[in-house]
Every structure is written in structure tokens, then in C-alpha cells.
């Protein structure tokens, strides 16, 4: 309602700007008329700047006043008396056209290019949506521009790496993690972060390269929680469920009160069918956790906040993506091994048998890889 009232006021101002010159009948010389028309042009400019009239209405008024200004200037230059103006009927016709055409034209234009059928939306919600859409992208772009000028700024890569991970830009996250290690040296946390990025890049599968990074992290800090968790995940993907359970149980036994990764480890154990010990009540004055003691739920896996059905769907999606990639590149022996183990972990034995058959066909021309896949098939009990 308020919007339409504003439109009505703006239209009335535009009509007034058009009709006002028609109400004047000058008897003075051309110099007086020139001054009047210049004042009218200034007033139109002020009305437009104040938002009282639209651009189209202001332009129409400027054209009309400018035309009269030119005529008055010519008359003044030639020192001729100004005419008494247009006949009365012409002025009335022009006024009627202004009264009808300006509002009708403005309404038709809005209905054509506007969206009157859309409901109103609070300004705060619109601003919040714009901020959410642009804040991360603009931040990433700013940091990337900074790193283009300062390629040795390790802090910049450290800031970007987790953002890349959450945006799904896993290859960029791996490069950023490597760059941090190159520029600032390795630590347990940096190696564990690199392994996490490598795992994400390969659809959640702990590759040999990622496993190497986690192993290096544990050598530097045996109690590094992120490296321990992913080492357990690697064992689970290799089919060694007992080893995975032992690693995760040990993490819970040694977990400090309030550790942010406890929920993730408990969910992982539950997926293995293990009995999860009850959560111990935290003391009333638990000491603050200093530094990075381990992965948060978001750091370890986005699935930590999902329901069991959601986690299962995400894992199946990752395995499906791996299977699809192997159909395009069947020479990846490690990929076939990971796929077979993943199917066994998911208790999808039929799919594992089918994948074993596909792997044999894809690797038939490479005796060494064929021998390796046969060993994997035998170790998983799929030879029959």
C-alpha cells in the first residue's frame, strides 16, 4: 500500500512538472522567459535528485522546457518580442494529455517490467540473504588476490584451506595444505589436515598418500585426535573392523572432558555395531581445551551432524562416485581395492562380487595389477 502511494505521489509530481509551464503566459521580453525556463530546468533536476519524479518523467519535462528555452533564447537574441504563447485550446489539449498519458504510461511500464505479484519481503531478510551469498565468496576472492601478490604468506593459505574444504574445492584445499607445510614447516596438525584434505579429494576414501600423512602426524604427536580417527577409518575401509574399533575405543578412553570430536567417534563406533560406552558427566569446572586438540565434527566429516540415514546416504554416494570413476579409468588398482573394501564394509556382498568381476576384466591386460586384485579378492573372501 505504501509503495503504491509513493508511486502516486511521484506521478503527480511528474504531471505537475509537465503542466506547470503551460499555466504561464508571459508578457515580458525574451530575457525574462529564458531565466524562468532555466529555473524550471533546475527545479526538475532537484525533483529528480530527491526522487520525487522518475527518470522518464524528468526527461519528458526537460525536453519540453528545453524546447521553450531555445525558442525564448532565439527570440531574445533577435530582439523580437515574445509571442503570446500557444492558443488556449492547444494548451488545454497538452494539459489533458499530461494528466492521462503520464500516469497511464508509468503504470503500464511498471506492469510490464515490474513484479507487482510478488509478496513483500522484510529488508532485514533481504540483506541477510545477500550477505550470506556473498560473504564467503568475497572473502575467498580477497584472500586469493592477496596471495597472488604475496605467494609466501603461509597464514593466507592456512585461512583458505578449511574454507576450500567446506566449499567442496578439495583439490584447492590439498594445494593450500601443502603450501602451508612448505612455507611454515610440518607439525602434527598440519600433516593431519593434509591427510584430511586428501581423503576428501578422493570421495572420503583414505588413500595411501593420505594414510602416509596421518602416519607422519602420529609420529610427531602420537595423541593427535584427527590422525587417530582417520587411521581408524583407513582400517575400516581396509576391512579390518577390529583394528578400527580398537583405535576409536582407545580415543574415547583417553578423551579429555568436552573434547569436540567425541560425538563423531561414538557415531563411527555405532556404525561398526560396537557397544558405545555412555557419555561420562563432565565436571562442573572442566579445564578449557587449549589449542587444536582434535577435529571438530565439521573437520572430521560433514556427516557427523546428519542422521544415521543421512550418513548412510552420503557414504553410498561416495562409493557410487568411486565406482563411476573406475568405469572411466579401469587401470586404477588402488581404486578397485578401495571399492571392494567399501562394499564389504557396507555389507553389499553382491555389489562386491560384481565389482570383482569388473576389476578382473579391466586389469586383464596387466598381470601385476591382476595379481594384486586377485590377492585382494581372496583376502575379502570374494573368490567364490
Domain(s) labelled CATH 1.25.40 in the chain stretch across 309-379
R_g over Cα of the chain: 37
Q: Write down the architecture of domain 309-379 according to CATH.
A: Alpha Horseshoe (1.25)
107, exposed or middle or buried, with CB in 10 Å at 0-12, 13-18, 19+? middle
Q: Quick one: DSSP state of residue 22? A: G
Question: What's the pLDDT score for residue 303?
Answer: 42
The pLDDT score that the predictor gives to residue 180 is 93
Q: Which string of b and e fits 120-148 if b means at least 16 CB within 10 Å?
A: eeeeeeeeeeeeeeeeeeeebeebeeebe
Are residues 206 and 232 in contact, defined by beta-carbon separation less than 8 angstroms? no
* Ordered per-residue pLDDT tens for the chain, 384 residues: 565 676 677 777 776 666 666 565 544 444 566 677 777 778 888 877 877 777 777 777 777 877 777 777 666 666 544 444 456 666 667 666 666 676 777 677 766 666 655 555 555 555 555 544 445 677 778 888 888 999 998 888 988 888 888 778 889 999 999 999 999 999 999 999 999 999 988 888 899 999 999 999 999 999 999 999 999 999 988 888 899 999 999 998 888 887 888 888 888 888 788 777 665 543 333 333 333 333 333 333 444 444 454 455 556 666 777 788 888 788 888 888 888 887 887 778 888 889 889 999 999 998 888 988 888 888 888 876
If you write DSSP's letter for every residue of 307-360 in order, what string do you get? -HHHHHHHHHHHHHHHHHHHHH-TT-HHHHHHHHHHHHHTT-HHHHHHHHHHHH
pTM: 0.44
Closest CA to 341 of 370, 364, 318: 318
Amino acid at each position: 500500500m505504501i509503495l503504491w502511494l509513493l508511486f502516486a505521489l511521484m506521478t503527480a509530481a511528474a504531471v505537475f512538472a509537465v503542466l506547470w509551464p503551460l499555466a504561464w503566459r508571459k508578457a515580458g521580453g525574451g530575457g525574462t522567459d529564458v531565466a524562468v525556463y532555466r529555473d524550471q530546468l533546475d527545479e526538475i533536476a532537484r525533483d529528480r535528485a530527491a526522487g520525487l519524479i522518475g527518470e522518464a518523467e524528468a526527461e519528458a519535462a526537460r525536453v519540453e522546457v528545453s524546447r521553450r528555452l531555445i525558442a525564448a533564447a532565439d527570440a531574445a537574441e533577435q530582439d523580437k518580442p515574445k509571442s503570446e504563447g500557444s492558443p488556449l485550446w492547444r494548451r488545454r489539449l497538452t494539459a489533458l494529455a499530461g494528466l492521462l498519458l503520464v500516469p497511464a504510461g508509468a503504470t503500464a511500464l511498471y506492469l510490464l517490467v515490474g513484479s507487482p505479484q510478488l509478496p513483500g519481503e522484510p529488508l532485514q531478510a533481504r540483506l541477510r540473504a545477500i550477505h550470506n551469498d556473498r560473504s564467503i565468496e568475497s572473502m575467498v576472492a580477497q584472500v586469493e588476490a592477496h596471495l597472488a601478490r604475496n605467494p609466501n604468506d603461509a597464514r593466507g593459505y592456512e585461512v583458505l584451506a578449511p574454507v576450500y574444504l567446506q566449499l567442496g574445492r578439495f583439490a584447492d584445499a590439498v594445494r593450500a595444505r601443502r603450501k602451508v607445510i612448505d612455507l611454515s614447516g610440518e607439525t602434527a596438525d598440519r600433516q593431519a589436515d593434509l591427510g584430511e584434505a586428501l581423503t576428501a579429494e578422493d570421495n572420503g576414501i583414505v588413500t595411501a598418500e593420505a594414510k602416509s600423512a596421518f602416519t607422519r602426524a602420529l609420529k610427531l604427536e602420537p595423541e593427535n585426535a584427527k590422525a587417530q580417527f582417520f587411521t581408524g577409518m583407513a582400517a575400516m575401509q581396509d576391512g579390518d573392523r577390529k583394528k578400527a574399533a580398537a583405535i576409536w575405543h582407545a580415543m574415547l578412553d583417553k578423551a579429555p572432558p568436552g573434547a569436540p570430536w567425541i560425538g563423531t567417534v561414538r557415531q563411527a563406533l555405532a556404525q561398526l555395531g560396537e557397544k558405545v560406552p555412555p557419555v561420562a558427566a563432565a565436571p562442573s569446572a572442566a579445564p578449557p581445551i587449549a589449542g587444536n586438540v582434535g577435529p571438530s565434527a565439521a573437520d572430521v566429516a560433514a556427516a557427523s551432524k546428519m542422521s544415521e540415514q543421512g550418513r548412510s546416504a552420503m557414504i553410498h554416494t561416495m562409493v557410487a562416485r568411486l565406482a563411476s570413476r573406475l568405469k572411466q579409468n579401469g587401470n586404477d588398482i588402488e581404486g578397485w581395492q578401495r571399492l571392494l573394501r567399501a562394499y564389504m564394509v557396507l555389507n553389499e556382498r553382491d555389489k562386491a562380487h560384481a565389482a570383482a568381476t569388473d576389476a578382473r576384466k579391466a586389469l586383464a591386460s596387466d598381470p601385476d595389477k591382476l595379481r594384486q586384485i586377485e590377492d585382494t579378492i581372496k583376502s575379502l573372501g570374494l573368490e567364490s
